[in-house]
């Protein structure tokens, strides 16, 4: 990599860093002023320092999903900014006069783009899944967050799970209720009630399920069928009960968005789980394909931005930037429409995620001849 390549790469990272800090700072200021009351618990002894500490902790963790959301957009904007500065300072003309093609300048930009994509992958696969509980916490929460329970059904056993509140970090539901299906598992309509229910992951010698602490009615009072005796088990040394089901605690809260905090391997495992409904599985499958196709879309968008910013036979930099922004906006709209049609089952999931790749790739190839030479 030449000296000028390193110069372009440093400038790319510099523009990206400034854009990220500025956009996140704007988000923090706007969100903090709009939701300042939520950081206050109402305690008369709560000082300003305590409130500010809560705000710092909350927005520290929010930086990771914010990076995942704006990283692709800022990458493309940084490319536009770098080449706009090249045009404005007329640094590109000595390069072209030396017989170096304009596309040679894309090498450090592609390297910079790949580093940002690597950061996005590490952020999505390693960091966000580890802090998912903190990301779903309410503003001002000191300890584990309490969430309202959204009832869910296991589509394999037909058991319906509900409750009052839950803590995701502890895998615990309070005032849990398990409605057992008739006549699949019980002869008479039965609802198991427990003050606490703890989700237990599967192991080599035990299936996944929920441990109900001292439930009512007791195990001896249940009228179980043969299938019910396979799914409802009595704890060997207490009055507790174990209900075999693959429904996890995060399925009982914000299940239309909680899968976005999972790693790709966790997401694939959940898609293959037959206990979840088809609508949920389809949304997760669309998100999986969208996640897999995103690095290609970012790179293709960069290759579209370069010739449009360095358009041949165009002397207006502002016009180039405006035309580039318009083109990328139309392609972004096409991507969102395609993904939405996939969620609505209008087109196949795979087609919905990969149509934008085909269209944007074709557009990048067609526009490559517009670059200055």
Q: Which of 326, 301, 320, 368 is nearest to 84 (CA)?
A: 320
Max mean pLDDT among 89-98, 99-108, 337-346 falls in 337-346
- Are 229 and 299 found together in one domain? no
Residue 269 within any structural domain of the chain:
no
Residue 79, pLDDT above cutoff 70: yes
Distance CA 239, CA 219 (A): 8
Residues 239 and 159 in one domain: yes
Mean pLDDT of 265-288: 83
Q: CA–CA separation, 270 vs 31, rounded Å?
A: 33
Tokens 């939405």 correspond to 340
List all residues 6 or more positions away from 77 whose beta carbon is below 8 Å from its beta carbon. Answer: 15, 19
How many CA atoms, within 13 angstroms, populate the side-chain half-sphere of residue 230? 7
Domain count, the chain: 2
235 has pLDDT over 90: no
Token pair 């960069």: residue = 302
Dump pLDDT digits (tens) for 157-206. 889 999 999 988 788 999 999 999 988 888 888 899 999 999 998 888 88
Tell whether 191 and 314 lie within a shared domain. Answer: no
11 Cβ contact partners less than 8 Å away, ≥ 6 residues apart:
82, 85
Shared domain for 364 and 239, answered yes or no, is: no
Domain final residue, candidates 203, 235, 253 = 253
**Is residue 117 domain-shared with residue 211, that is, in the same domain?**
no
Residue 152 bridge partners (DSSP): 161
* Helix, coil or strand: residue 364: helix
**Residue 69 lies in domain:** 3-136+280-370
Domain boundary among 196, 218, 253: 253
| Residue 142 pLDDT > 70 | no
Domain closes at, from 237, 253, 269: 253
**One domain for residues 247 and 332:** no
pTM metric for this prediction = 0.84
Q: Is residue 272 part of a domain?
A: no
- Whether 258 is covered by a domain: the verdict is no
Q: Measured between alpha carbons, how far is 155 from 246 in angstroms, rounded to an integer? A: 10
């Amino acid at each position: 990599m030449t000296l000028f390549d390193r110069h372009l790469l440093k400038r790319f990272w510099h523009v990206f860093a400034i854009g990220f800090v500025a956009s996140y700072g704007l988000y923090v200021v706007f969100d903090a002023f709009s939701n300042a009351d939520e950081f206050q618990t109402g305690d008369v002894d709560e000082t300003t320092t305590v409130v500010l500490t809560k705000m710092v902790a909350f927005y520290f963790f929010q930086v990771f999903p914010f990076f995942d959301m704006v990283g692709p957009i800022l990458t493309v904007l940084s490319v536009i900014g770098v080449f706009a500065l090249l045009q404005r300072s007329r640094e590109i003309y000595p390069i072209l006069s030396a017989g170096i093609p304009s596309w040679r300048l894309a090498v450090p930009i592609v390297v910079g783009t790949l580093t940002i994509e690597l950061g996005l992958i590490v952020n999505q696969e390693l960091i966000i899944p580890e802090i998912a509980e903190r990301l779903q916490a309410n503003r001002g929460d000191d300890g584990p967050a309490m969430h309202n329970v959204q009832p869910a059904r296991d589509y394999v056993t037909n058991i319906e799970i509900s409750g009052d509140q839950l803590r995701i970090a502890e895998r615990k539901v309070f005032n849990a209720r398990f409605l057992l299906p008739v006549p699949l598992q019980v002869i008479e309509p039965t609802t198991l009630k427990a003050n606490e229910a703890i989700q237990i992951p599967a192991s080599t010698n035990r299936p996944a399920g929920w441990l109900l602490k001292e439930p009512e009615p007791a195990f001896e009072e249940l009228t179980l069928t043969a299938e019910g005796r396979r799914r409802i088990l009595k704890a060997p040394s207490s009055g507790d009960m174990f209900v075999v089901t693959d429904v996890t605690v995060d399925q009982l809260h914000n299940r239309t968005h909680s899968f976005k905090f999972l790693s790709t391997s966790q997401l694939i495992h959940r898609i293959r789980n037959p206990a979840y409904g088809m609508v949920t599985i389809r949304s997760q499958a669309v998100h999986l394909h969208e996640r897999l196709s995103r690095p290609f879309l970012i790179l293709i968008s960069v290759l579209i931005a370069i010739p449009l910013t360095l358009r041949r036979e165009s002397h207006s930099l502002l016009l180039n930037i405006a035309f580039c922004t318009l083109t990328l906006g139309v392609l972004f709209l096409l991507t969102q429409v395609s993904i939405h049609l996939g969620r609505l089952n209008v087109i196949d999931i795979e087609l919905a995620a990969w149509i934008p790749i085909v269209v944007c790739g074709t557009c990048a190839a067609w526009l490559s001849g517009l670059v200055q030479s």
